[in-house]
Structure 1
């Protein structure tokens, strides 16, 4: 009777161990699939559940980053929450891009569960020789997007600010692992509002003025806010690692 009782306890413990800790052994695979036709590329993000277990609370982040011959970047990002049935293969999102023969295209896919990256994939397409290279991405924080500034301005003043900012940022010795976007929208008269964002967070915003010293002062304020955001971001990352 005592042996039977011990065997029952052992069986319950093993069941608890498998159901609790076995979940850490994720078998969700993220894949980037591309289809090319003339100067168009269709990018698909796919997730595959390789287990006989329902997976929920999953999150994907698909990023396509294109650089032209002038060195200017444009980006397209898709993200969302999803779940997978046992052994299900699911298309998560699609991005259609027009590319020139000389464009450089990098594609990144991250899949998370409970804010932890459980699968990732990447692809680098060098259009000049149509070469496709798989890139090893160590982590979402450190993957190869340091120092990138996206230009979404619409006026000469906005372009001047972008150029002043990029020059200061690229030579500052502090290139952060997140994309900075400079966008612009019309305001009253000939003025506009210039906004600097990263990861959907507004870092700085000001009303444009066609004055070089004013724009350079705005650059200094922007760099200060970007540096503060980088510190907060790193602190948050450090706290979520444990």
Structure 2
């Protein structure tokens, strides 16, 4: 009887683990693959749709290299894509020169195109000790600094692209950049008009109608930077209220 009970329990645990694995497998998986090539590391961003549903998604691939002298360099790639049920797709490939004294961090984010909800992510780290500090708080601040100033262009028209270029040139020179990713997106409206949204942390903080006028775009750029600054100030104020 004891042997029979043990066998039954073992069979149940196997069934439970297989059933659980099957449930975990039925989702979108992000994967960063790495392979060394001489003095380079090749990164491949891969996504697998293990669900029975066709999906429209977007991705962000960010790689941050820290040289032996302490200098930081950053590269980002992003884009929209569609993926069929049970399909595996390569989204992007990039190569990074990496010496023995260099460190590398890379992040892959997958979001739902419609809701902008983060549904999958992955990361890799090489020579991570060069990024780490003795204090966990300092390490957190360094990581935030490494991701500062990231912007994503999701505009669709020439007017949208013109605004994004203006925004990026101005925002990249700001000393107090946001630790969060800023997305500039564009929604088509009736006729030839559209709407540009400034988004931080999945929240639209400012929107305006498209207009090709240079003065108009400059005016909207001023408003956009103003609302970004106000949003970050409120966010920092709330964060400080919970620090004891």
User: What TM-score results when the alignment is normalised by the length of structure 1?
Assistant: 0.53
Q: Give the count of matched residue pairs.
A: 155
Maintained 8 Å contact 1:179/1:198: yes
Maintained 8 Å contact 2:152/2:182: yes
Q: Which residue of 2 aligns with 1:184?
A: 186
Q: Which residue of 2 aligns with 1:235?
A: 237
Where do 5+ consecutive residues of structure 2 fail to align?
A: 1-29, 36-41, 49-58, 64-74, 81-87, 97-103, 110-121, 133-137
Q: Which residue of 1 aligns with 2:62?
A: 66
Q: What is the CA–CA distance in structure 2 between the aligned matches of 1:73 and 1:162, rounded to whole Å? A: 15
Maintained 8 Å contact 1:73/1:149: no
Maintained 8 Å contact 1:40/1:96: no
Q: What is the CA–CA distance in structure 1 between the aligned matches of 2:157 and 2:76, rounded to whole Å? A: 16
**Which has the higher mean CA deviation after the structures are superposed, 143-152 or 160-169?**
143-152
Maintained 8 Å contact 2:33/2:43: no
Q: CA deviation at 1:152?
A: 0.5
* Structure number with higher helix proportion: 2
Asked whether 1:100 is paired with 2:102, we answer no
Judging changes above 3 Å, is the alpha-carbon distance between structure 1 residues 167 and 176 closer, same or farther for their aligned structure 2 residues?
same
Alpha-carbon RMSD across the aligned residues, in angstroms, is 3.8
Q: Which residue of 1 aligns with 2:171?
A: 169
Q: What are the Cα deviations for residues 172-211 of structure 1, in whole angstroms up to 9, with x where unaligned? A: 3222211110001111211111001010111110110011
Task: Output aligned runs, 1:1-242, within 5 Å.
Answer: 34-35=32-33, 40-42=44-46, 65-66=61-62, 73-74=77-78, 98-102=91-95, 106-107=106-107, 123=124, 132-134=126-128, 135-136=131-132, 138-139=139-140, 142-242=144-244
User: What TM-score results when the alignment is normalised by the length of structure 2?
Assistant: 0.52
